A and B are shown apart, each in its own frame.
Chain A
């Protein structure tokens, strides 16, 4: 059966779109493949063969050894990063709600301040941040790193939540006010449930950002055990790098964000769609 013009055009578009997806997929998959293949090679083979050549044998010994070494830092990173992502999202949504409720000059200027805070490169504020953490006696502790991450990432959370909040129609809030609900109840019973996808997206985003952060843990720690990115960095030795171990550490260290994103990715997308209004969430 011959295809109609519309169908032809349609399938051409589908093919073009698929091609784009494949190209992007490869761009993303190649480094992971490189990490995996590198971690399966012996040190000699890693140094002697091109990065993308497959390993001559499947030797999981390096990965297993590095995994044992990473257990501590992985756990530390989790217990630092999870509360930070959750707390920053919570604080951010509260800030976003009050900005959304006020909608006046005060809230506008707070909004601008938050936006500026988000765009400041964190290297610029590291010195005062470190001094603050030190003065609190939290240098080289997980709470110290958590506090610094929280300080730096809460404005970003607020900014994201303002964007998600603006997708919530105001009449729900007004209806709740007329029904007699005070601010906190409006937030808890009406706004939070409608923010669901936005909260998930923001939390996923913050989890990944804080997990991957390097400088803040680096400057607030003496050793390498407090954060996964430091631990990975530690495989870059002064006298020579153990490339296969570094590959394995990088692979293992990037798995948690990857898993989070893959398993919760659809909420992330749903959140973005709620904002764009493209598809009903």
Chain B
């Protein structure tokens, strides 16, 4: 019944007195898969990871690791973290400040009671994979953020755990190191084929490393899917607005000036909303040959360096759209907007249709 990676069934966590951190969460992580849990602050990401690690007990629900139940309050089952064989990288890395890098990495092996020479061999091995051989004699405080992260990863991986858990592992790195660190973690995960769950609030992290992404909000799973799926087919308004940068435009469907372009293709009810990604709506001065087209007036033009975006007023709606690279727009101009994709959400916020232009 339980898969070989990680399985979480109907997991609920209530912190006293009444904070519901996780609300009936179920998910499956395949063996060798890299799963990312993406959600805003307070959505329950850390709580989920800590329950998998055994640092927290579920209020209800069952957790399986490698096919075996490790927590099940209905059966009073709770396996402590020491016996779960998981590797974990904490948000601030939590390297033991009183131990050198070598001893930090050796610590899990020392507990297993391996011989000195075996420990030395395995620490060397993992240090080589992670490119930290030169750092073994240093103390954590003598390392940069990127180096500390690698050491933390080495400590988590050295005992060859069944699963690897990463809590916001990139958030303490500066932008440049972050990009290389993501690629690096992804590469290491691939080559070791270890089942991995990473939690983050940063969609760029999620897209860079995730085979699949779970979107979490207020303790509830909003959607599970491959990165592209979440972007192209958001299940609801939350995923739609949380994923994508710049964020999706969301406007009231009625009286928005956009009704015209969807009419005949989808029926619009009371409280419906329309979502358009800035990158899927292009503004230009020349009239396009066809497709989903509207006209509007430029309010503001912004450059991100490589691209220009314009705020355009269409009827009563105000949309952020991509500027056709061959046009140069200025405020007050009338422009044509071609929509490549328009999402329609019902009054409950569920996506009911997507119109492709």
- A interface, CB within 8 angstroms of B: 169, 171-172, 174-182, 185, 189-190, 193-194
Contacts and interface: CB of A to CB of B under 8 A. Distances in A.
A178 B98 CA distance: 18
A186 to B, nearest CB: 9
B53 A178 contact: yes
Nearest to B90: A171
Contacts of A178: 53-55, 81-82, 86-88
Contacts of B53: 178
A189 B92 contact: no
Given A179-B108, A189-B107, A172 B94 contact: yes
Nearest to B80: A177
A181 B107 contact: yes
Nearest to B86: A178
Contacts of A169: 94
B159 interface: yes
B112 interface: yes
B96 interface: yes
B96 A172 contact: yes
B98 A175 contact: no
Nearest to B88: A178
B92 A182 contact: no
B97 interface: yes
Interface of B: 53-55, 80-82, 86-88, 90, 92, 94, 96-98, 107-108, 111-112, 155, 159
Given A172-B96, A194-B97, A180 B82 contact: yes
Contact of A182 (B82, B94, B96, B98): B82
10 contacts: A172-B94, A174-B94, A176-B96, A177-B82, A178-B55, A180-B82, A180-B111, A180-B112, A181-B107, A190-B96
B98 A193 contact: yes
B88 A175 contact: yes
Nearest to B161: A178
Among B92, B94, B108, the most chain A Cβ lie within 10 Å of the Cβ of: B94
Contacts of B92: 171
Contacts of A179: 107-108, 111, 155, 159
Contacts of B107: 176, 179, 181, 189
Contacts of B90: 171, 174-175
B111 A181 contact: yes
A215 to B, nearest CB: 40
A33 to B, nearest CB: 43
CB-CB nearest 7 A-B residue pairs: A193-B98, A175-B94, A179-B108, A180-B111, A171-B94, A177-B81, A178-B88
Nearest to A173: B94
Nearest to A196: B98
A175 B111 CA distance: 13
Contacts of A189: 96, 107
A230 B58 CA distance: 59
B87 A185 contact: no
Contacts of B108: 179-180
Nearest to A172: B94
Contacts of B96: 172, 175-176, 189-190, 193
A96 to B, nearest CB: 18
B321 to A, nearest CB: 45
B109 to A, nearest CB: 9
B51 to A, nearest CB: 13
Given A175-B94, A179-B159, 17 more contacts: A169-B94, A171-B92, A174-B55, A177-B55, A178-B54, A178-B81, A178-B82, A179-B107, A179-B111, A179-B155, A180-B82, A180-B111, A180-B112, A185-B111, A189-B107, A190-B96, A193-B96
Contacts of A185: 111
Among A169, A174, A175, A190, the most chain B Cβ lie within 10 Å of the Cβ of: A175
Contacts of A180: 82, 108, 111-112, 159
Contacts of B155: 179
Contacts of B94: 169, 171-172, 174-175
A95 to B, nearest CB: 22
Contacts of B54: 177-178
A182 B86 CA distance: 15
A174 B86 CA distance: 12
Among A171, A178, A185, A189, the most chain B Cβ lie within 10 Å of the Cβ of: A178
Nearest to A175: B94
Contacts of A176: 96, 107
A194 B98 CA distance: 7
A237 to B, nearest CB: 54
A64 to B, nearest CB: 46
Nearest to A174: B55
Among B53, B87, B108, B112, the most chain A Cβ lie within 10 Å of the Cβ of: B108
Nearest to B50: A174
A181 B113 CA distance: 11
Nearest to B152: A175
B111 to A, nearest CB: 4
Contacts of A190: 96, 98
A258 B228 CA distance: 71
Contacts of A177: 54-55, 80-82
Contacts of B82: 177-178, 180-182
A270 to B, nearest CB: 15
Contacts of B112: 180
A185 B108 CA distance: 11
B83 to A, nearest CB: 8
A104 to B, nearest CB: 11
A39 B96 CA distance: 52
